[in-house]
Amino acid sequence: MLRSTYRWLRQAAVLLFLTVTLCAGVWLQPRQAYAQPSDADRATARQLAIDANAALQAQEYDKAADLFKRADALYHAPTLGLGLGRAYRGMGKYVQARETLNRVIRETLPADASPKFKKAVASARKEADEIKNKIAWITVTITPTEAAVSIDGVLLPSAALGVRRAIDPGKHQLTSSARGYASDEQTITLGEGDSKAVTITLKSITTTTPPTPTPMPGGGASGVDNSDEDPGALMRTLGFVGLGVGGASLVVGSITGGLAVGKHGDLTDQCNGNTCPATAKDDLRAYRTLGNVSTATLIVGGVLATTGLVLVLVAPSADEEPSANARRRQHAPRYRAHIGPTYLGASIVF
């Protein structure tokens, strides 16, 4: 009976995982920008750029980097990216500096672009080449291969193990750990342009095998009588919760959808095709927000309600014979996730 219960619980857990994955996919869809920078944003970005360049001249690189990032968030311009790259260079963060300058270089400027913008791209190309030889490189090889390695508290991706990885010159703390092995910590120092290979071998920790538990009379592993347990109780509970939350989400989606339709009518009266006056900015933002909320809650509600219904229908009852449970497991639904670069979904095969 316990084995049957655990098997059904595993299936319920898989189904709930797929539901959460679908919900996350809905909310993680990219949002469209609502409007171009306003005059106030442009003016603020211009003043931030002036203050950032002053901090750069005073060698206050941390302050300069913060101001350049704020200015670029309000109004993107190649000159701001160039300044940010220079601030990173002054901080000794050559990897970030070069990648920031490379983003400026890759920007496509219109034919009528400002001469300052064109000069910024040319300067970025020159300074990126100067920084190239200052970047250090490290190759980390570790045994066992499944161990986790962190550099200065940042986890190193497994794909970066055993290959050269760009790193800023200076002192760095390497921390390694793996289950069943003693952790390792070491400090390395690299100069500008250095290349160093680090090999780490973790020491295995000797463990004592726990004694095998003595079976209880009657063939059970314990003296607890589970004959009266209902293997489908948890599944039905989760199913009813899914139905309730899903139904509530559908109601919210319907209400916000109706509000979005009303806002669309207001915008139709104010806008000329795809062009809207500045006074309609708040209505446009509200319309898009309501539309996104309506779409997301309707999808989430449908998924949760469907999941809840399936859990209720397939949950085994306490009075079923073992043979009936076996047949139910044989014909139980199979859950599959479908994940790709532009889509996310799940299917249930009966």
State how far the Cα of 263 lies from the Cα of 285, in Å rounded to an integer: 10
pLDDT value, residue 3? 53
Environment class of 81 (CB within 10 Å of its CB; exposed 0-12, middle 13-18, buried 19+): buried
pLDDT value, residue 56? 97
**Residues 243-266: pLDDT tens digits?**
888 788 888 878 987 887 777 777
State how far the Cα of 94 lies from the Cα of 166, in Å rounded to an integer: 9
Q: Where are the alpha helices (DSSP H) in the chain?
A: 2-27, 39-57, 61-74, 78-90, 94-105, 115-132, 233-270, 281-314, 322-330
- 8 Å CB contact between 156 and 110: no
Closest C-alpha to 99, from 110, 87, 85: 85
- 8 Å CB contact between 236 and 312: yes
Highest mean pLDDT among 122-136, 249-263, 290-304: 122-136
pLDDT value, residue 83? 98
- Report in angstroms the alpha-carbon separations of 297 from 246, 250, 264, 304, 344: 9, 6, 19, 10, 16
pLDDT value, residue 12? 57
State how far the Cα of 234 lies from the Cα of 246, in Å rounded to an integer: 18
Read off the pLDDT band of 301 (50, 70, 90): confident
**Residues 53-68: pLDDT tens digits?**
999 999 999 999 999 9
**Residues 196-237: pLDDT tens digits?**
999 999 999 976 566 666 655 544 444 444 445 566 777 778
State how far the Cα of 198 lies from the Cα of 160, in Å rounded to an integer: 13
State how far the Cα of 75 lies from the Cα of 212, in Å rounded to an integer: 67
Phi, psi dihedrals of residue 268, rounded to the nearest 5°: -60, -35
Neighbouring CB atoms inside 10 A of 8's CB total 21
Q: Check residues 18 and 62 and name the one with the higher pLDDT.
A: 62
For residue 128, pLDDT beyond 90: yes
